[in-house]
Amino acid sequence: MSIRRNARWEDMEKGNIDLSRLIKHFESFNRSEGKSPSTLEWYTYVLEFFRNWLEECGLSTALEDIGEYEVREFILYLQERQVNGRPLSSHTVANRVRGLKGFFSWLGTQGYTNGNVLEKLKVPKTDQRLVEVLTPKEVDRLFSAINANSALGARNSAMVALFLDAGLRLSELTNLKEEDVHLDDRYVKVMGKGSKERMLPLGARCHRAMLHYYYHFRPEPLHTGINTFFLTLDGYPLTPRAVRSLVARLSRSAEVPRLHPHLFRHTYATHFLINGGDLLLLKQNLGHSSLTMVEHYRHVASQIAAVTSRGFSPLDHMHAPSLRRHKRKDGTSTGQTYPNAGRPRGQDLARRSGARVK
């Protein structure tokens, strides 16, 4: 008769556990912590992609065989990988590395590994490119491309207005409940990441677009279980995929090729600061937990302000005479300028001869 011993977790062998089993445990853990479905889906995608790469390379997927070296090789693969003939962006690579670091940090916390095996691994640097937000002229083109006096146009116009006026994420817009849209008081309640609710005011233009859609064109929900504000013509909830599709069509019709749903959020944040908004208030409105996430928008806003500051040119406000470059007989310029630049030639000759200039 075999005697069972009272095994302790810290004494159990965990190195032979396959990565697929750990990924499922990690997903269950995050779900119990209240992580959003999109966050769960993203983590699972990143981790499964990493596991599939290990298999394709003929490498073991057992926990004890995966460490910093394998992850660094995976990073090199991502940096060289191309999708549709184009390499992955540095931000995509960095985000996937953050996902792996988060997973291995959790493994250390749960006791699967002796500490975080990726603790010394740094996230690759990303390109610090300024986001080219929508200009006022481009925004006008977007609304001009929508027929707000039709059922689809009224809905799409209201969605674009809400994107631009409140800076909603795509998931926040599609999950917006009818009961959370307070048109009489001109604000909406939004459930953001981490189940954090926030209230956002509506400007006059956005308010009019929302009223126009709600009272004239919004269909009745197909059944009582549907309570989202934006609906299809048949009364179904709008999906994120459907919104991406209509934004893509709008991009072509308005001739704004770089348009995508998140660009509306970038545009809102940047112009909020340009118009004098406070950085702390912007953090609250966007639903971020730290100022680090909104500092980038301040940099973009300052760059746009710098470009538009040509109207404050010191020299232009001094009313200085136009500078004239000396020209040779062959018509070429020496590049030199002279004190008499801008004076009529006759006036200058009179000054040289001592004659009185009238």
* 164-193 burial code (b ≥16 CB/10 A, e <16): bbbbbbbbbbbbbeeebbeeeeebbebbbe
Rounded CA gap, 288 and 271, in Å?
Answer: 17
* 2-58 pLDDT tens trace: 556 667 767 677 788 999 999 999 999 999 988 888 889 999 999 999 999 999 999
Phi, psi of 201, deg, nearest 5: -75, 160
Instruction: Provide the H-helix boundaries in 175-239.
Output: 204-216
Max Cα separation, the chain? 130
Residue 127 or 234, more confident: 234
* 146-164 pLDDT tens trace: 999 999 999 999 999 999 9
Cβ pair 228, 190 in contact under 8 A: no
Q: Is the dihedral of CA 277, 278, 281, 283 positive or negative?
A: positive
Rounded CA gap, 275 and 278, in Å?
Answer: 9
Domains, the chain, ordered by start: 10-110 (1.10.150), 136-308 (1.10.443.10)
3-state SS assignment for residue 84: coil
* 296-321 pLDDT tens trace: 777 677 766 665 655 656 656 566 55
Query: Whole-prediction pTM value?
Result: 0.68
Mean pLDDT, residues 290-296 = 74
236: tokens are 């179904």
pLDDT at 307: 58
